[in-house]
Amino acid sequence: MTKKPIGWYKELVIRPVLPVDGYESYEKICEHVANIYFNTDQENLKKGLLTSITDSRYISKYTLFKVGEAKCPVYWVSADLLTALMQSDLTIEADNLHWAMKTGIFMLPKGLVFSPDNNSIQAIFWHYETTKDYLYWTAIDKDNCFCRRFLASNNSRTFKYNDVQDFDPQVVIDFNEYLQGIFLRLLLIMECRPELVEQESKLVTVNKGFAKNLAKDFYEPLWIGRNYRVKRQDAQDVTEQQGTNTSKSIHWRRGFLRNQPYGKGREQRKLIWIEPVLVMGGKS
C-alpha cells in the first residue's frame, strides 16, 4: 500500500485546531475519518447498508464517510461537564431533538469513558439522516469501533451492532446502550443549555521558529462546557438542611430533567437540567 503523504487528511477539515491536553489528537481523529472517506465508494456503501443491515462495518463506515463529507465539524467536551452528564438521569426521545447539528464529532477527555477492554473512548462521531430518519453514531478507542443505528422517530432500540468480535456480545450490547446514553445527553445539553456551547473560535498564530515563514495559523477548539465545574456541597451543609446527624461517605446526588412551564399562563414548556451535586464525605 502506498504511503500517504503527511497531512493528506487536511482537505477534510474545516480549519486547523490547536492541540488540547488530555484529548486524542484532532489530526489522528481526522486521519481515521479520511481513511474511510478516501477509500470508500459511496454507492457500494449504500448498497451494503441495504443488503447487510446486521453488518456493523457498514454502519461505522457510513457514519465516518458522512462526517468526512461534512468536513469534520467538532466539539471538545469538558471533563467536568461529561462527569456531570454521566451522573444525571436525562431521558428524552431522539425525535424530540431539534438537530441544530446533524453531523459532527464529540472529542471526549481521556480517562472518563472506558471500553470493555479498558481503553478510553476517544471520540463519538454521528450523522442524522433526515430523509430516512436514521441516526448513526460510532465511537472509537485506540483499537475498536462501537456503533449503532436506530430510527429517531421511535427510538425503538432495535438496532444494536458493534465492530468487536472478541467481546461477549451481551457486554458490547450493554456498552453500546451506555455509550448511546452519553451521546444523547450531549446532544440534549446542546439544546437545553446553549450557553455552554461555544459558537466562535479565535485565530491563533503559532511561530514555529525565528523565520516568519514558519509561523502557522490555528484556531482555538470549540468547547461544550469549557468553564463548567461540577457542583460540590459539604456533607455538613446537607445534614444541617435535612436535620439529620448521620455521616456519609462521598456520593452523588444525581441530576435530572424537569419540564418547566413558562410564558403567558405558563402554558409553554422547556427542558431544565437540574445539575448533579457531588456531596463531600465527612461527619456531621
pLDDT of residue 244: 57
Same domain, 123 and 249: no
Q: In this structure, what C-alpha cell is assigned to residue 184?
A: 444523547
| Best CA proximity match to 13, nearest among 89, 90, 105 | 105
CA distance 62 to 43: 11
As separate numbers, helices (DSSP H) first and strands (DSSP E) second, the chain gives: 6, 15
Same domain, 113 and 254: no
pLDDT of residue 222: 95
Q: Length of the chain, please?
A: 284
Q: Report the domain count for the chain.
A: 2
Asked whether the CA dihedral 80, 83, 88, 91 is positive or negative, the reply is positive
* Contact in structure between 113 and 182 (CB atoms under 8 Å): yes
* Contact in structure between 244 and 229 (CB atoms under 8 Å): no
| Best CA proximity match to 100, nearest among 30, 192, 15 | 192
In a domain, 203, yes or no: no
In a domain, 201, yes or no: no
Any bridge partners for residue 125, and if so which? 105, 138
Helices (H), the chain: 26-37, 42-51, 56-69, 79-86, 169-192, 235-242
How far is residue 163 from each of residues 116, 126, 263, measured CA to CA in Å?
13, 16, 47
Q: What is the pTM of this model?
A: 0.84
Query: 168 burial class (0-12, 13-18, 19+ CB within 10 angstroms)?
Result: exposed
Residue 255 belongs to what domain range?
231-280
CA distance 13 to 216: 16
Last residue of some domain: 139, 171, 196?
A: 196
Same domain, 74 and 163: yes
CA distance 189 to 195: 10
In a domain, 215, yes or no: no
In a domain, 45, yes or no: yes
In a domain, 32, yes or no: yes
Place of cell 454507492: 43
Last residue of some domain: 148, 179, 196?
A: 196
Any bridge partners for residue 17, and if so which? 219
246-250: long-range contacts, CB 8 A cutoff, minimum separation 24: 246/284, 247/281, 247/282, 247/283, 247/284, 248/279, 248/281, 249/281, 250/278, 250/279, 250/280, 250/281
Same domain, 158 and 238: no
Count CB-CB contacts under 10 A for residue 244. Answer: 11
pLDDT tens-place values along the chain, 284 residues long: 456 667 788 888 988 899 999 999 999 999 999 999 999 998 899 888 888 777 788 999 999 999 999 999 999 999 999 999 999 887 665 555 667 789 999 999 999 999 988 999 999 999 998 888 888 999 999 888 898 888 777 644 433 334 444 556 677 778 888 888 899 889 888 888 899 999 988 888 877 656 566 678 889 999 999 999 999 988 665 555 555 555 568 889 998 888 788 777 777 777 788 899 999 876 54
Same domain, 178 and 271: no
Last residue of some domain: 180, 196, 212?
A: 196
φ/ψ (deg, to 5) at 3? -70, 130
Count CB-CB contacts under 10 A for residue 258. Answer: 11
In a domain, 213, yes or no: no
